[in-house]
Amino acid sequence: MKVNRNFIFNIISIAIMIYGISMVPSLVMAYRYNENELSSSMFIIVISCITAGVLGYKYLSSRLTDVQTRIYYITTIITWVLLILLSTIPYLTCGRGYSFIDCLFESTASWTTTGACAIANSDLPLGLKLWRASCNWMGGIGIILLTLAFLPRMQFIGQRLASTEIRGPNFLMSTITFRKAYRRILMLYSASTLLQYVLLRFAGMTRFMSLLTALSNTSTSGLQHLNGGIIVALSAKIKIIITVFAFLSSLNVGFFIAALAGKGRRLIKNSELNLYTVELVLVTLLITVSTTITNGGGKVLSTLGNTLMQVISFISTAGYIVAPCNEWNSFSISLVTIVVFIGACAISTGGGIKMSRAVYAIKTLSHNVYSLVHPHSIKTIYYNDEPARSEDITETKLYISLFLLIYICGSMLLALDGYDVYSALNYSQAMLTNLGTPILAQSGAVVSSTNGFAKVVMSFLMICGRLEIYPVLMLFSVNLWTRKKK
């Protein structure tokens, strides 16, 4: 038991250390722009976190041999909740008098890459803006995954630990070891952030804004710092860069790793990528056609471009508004709603049910129809030419059902706090899929007007969506905290 406890504390202290280090740029920013109250509180946080982290890292190191999986889940959920709570401190102590619930919401939204905000972004001090974006960035890749960089020897344990946090079922292409894959993921993530920063600078954005955009867009969090996420007015060049990077971030990291390993040809047959592309193209075309018909002609090409960018924003669950989509008709809205539910690819920074699960669901449904006609048949379901395990199939279907259940319960709770049916459904979806901006919300992603209860519910939904429900549900399970099997 002591070994387990040490392991948990060890990971948590590394996480706290990373937390402290990552605040340094924001601290510098706050100091430079004379946000004194903020910079002094940040300074204290940085010093104490790094000290505590280093101490914990050094003295609580543990050799973990055989553990029940519950330890991994406990580690993940405690780390996330702790960091989210810690991240409220800078908001609370910046001297603007934000309420605790608002700060909690803000910090949850940034860590879960949702991109909704309770405090209008224009009001925030610069240091906090940067802090928000850095949280987005870390939340996108996952804090547990970051801590693994400090545990180089934990090959298997690292993999199992990371799998409690990764979005989507674990379909990393199994051609390389976890350690290699891990390094490449970190590299790709940083490289794409850097590249995006450079490109945005070339496109004429200011240095600070490019940095914020690169950090939040690589993690598909939405662009709160740019006019509250409504970027219709920006230049076409910038919009295209943002769209391309949002799209890349919503793809499975495994695709890039395979491409780097020279196995790009296999990707053409990848069913997740194929379906994702088909969905994107089909939805874009359908919405363009229906919008053009409603508008009675007009510029078809520009409609197509705008629609494509907007659909990518939704499909990657980034959730910024790039086209005048509040003019869409009900057909387009219903289509987009379903697209958002499905969400991005597995093992990406996007949210939603995940495309690979949708692929599984479609395959099993057609298999079910087949077995209705031939009840005694035994037929294997293939996923990317590999036979799928029946446990995976059941688990996938269970996850989808659970997702919908949580969605309905979430909207019910929001309705309890005075939301009408339509916005309750919309907000619940936006939070659970980590989209941030409810579809067609006039006010963007700002939820400042609602009261505390709704914000707590939303925070809960966001964490559910980010950690794929189970770790959060486990918190309520007695089994998680007891050692023996019951």
**Minimum CB distance to another protein smaller for 188 or for 425:** 425
Residues in the chain: 486
| Shortest distance in whole angstroms from residue 430 CB to another protein | 15
The single residue among 373, 378, 385, 449 that binds another protein, judged by CB under 8 A, is 373
By CB under 8 A, is residue 338 in contact with another protein? Answer: yes
**Cα–Cα dist 319/300, whole Å:** 24
Would you say 212 and 131 are in contact if contact means Cβ atoms under 8 Å apart? no
Using CB atoms within 10 A of its CB, is residue 301 exposed (0-12), middle (13-18) or buried (19+)? exposed
Does the protein bind another protein through residue 480 (CB under 8 A)? yes
CB of 334 to another protein, least distance (A): 4
Q: How far apart are CA 322 and CA 309, in angstroms?
A: 7
Q: Which residue type, as a one-letter code, is found at position 433?
A: T
Report the C-alpha gap between 472 and 464 in whole angstroms. Answer: 6
If one asks whether residue 149 binds another protein (CB under 8 A), the answer comes out as no
Q: Is residue 397 at the binding interface for another protein, with CB under 8 A as the rule?
A: yes
From 186, 209, 333, 381, residue interacting with another protein (rule: CB under 8 A): 333
Count of positions on this chain that bind another protein (CB under 8 A) = 54
Question: Which residue from 299, 370, 448, 451 is in contact with another protein, where contact means CB under 8 A?
Answer: 370
Contact stretch for another protein (CB under 8 A) within 132-140, 211-219, 223-231, 357-365: 357-365
Task: Return the amino acid letter for 308.
Answer: L
Per CB under 8 A, 345 contacts another protein: no
Distance of alpha carbon 213 from alpha carbon 207, whole angstroms:
10
Instruction: Decide: is 451 part of the binding site for another protein (CB under 8 A).
Output: no
* Residue 325 in the binding site for another protein (CB under 8 A): no
Distance in angstroms (rounded) separating the CA atoms of residues 136 and 87: 12
Q: Which residues face 321 on adjacent strands?
A: 230
Minimum CB separation of residue 179 from another protein in Å reads 22
Judged by beta carbon, residue 85 or residue 404, the one nearer another protein is 404
Q: Is 419 in the site for another protein (CB under 8 A)?
A: yes
HEC sequence for 396-413 = HHHHHHHHHHHHHHHHHH
136: tokens are 């987005």
- CB nearer to another protein: give 176 or 289: 289
Q: Which of 7, 73, 137, 189 binds another protein (CB under 8 A)?
A: 73
Residues whose CB falls within 8 Å of the CB of residue 214, separated by 6 or more in sequence, listed in order: 193, 194, 196, 197, 200
State which of residues 33, 331, 453, 460 lies at the interface with another protein (CB under 8 A): 331
381 binds another protein (CB under 8 A): no
Question: Helix, strand or coil for residue 387?
Answer: strand
| Distance between CA atoms of residues 167 and 351, nearest Å | 7
Q: What is the DSSP code (8-state) at residue 117? A: B
Considering only 69, 277, 326, 451, the residue that binds another protein (CB under 8 A) is 69
Select the span of 87-95, 107-115, 187-195, 362-370 touching another protein (CB under 8 A).
362-370
Check if the beta carbon of residue 204 is closer than 8 Å to that of residue 237. Answer: yes
Cα–Cα dist 378/283, whole Å: 35
Residue 369, interface with another protein (CB under 8 A)? yes
Does position 437 interact with another protein (CB under 8 A)? The reply is no
Residues that bind another protein (CB under 8 A): 68-70, 73, 290, 329-331, 333-335, 337-338, 361, 364-366, 368-370, 372-375, 390, 393-395, 397-398, 400-402, 404-405, 408, 411-412, 415-416, 418-422, 424-425, 470, 473-474, 477, 479-480, 485
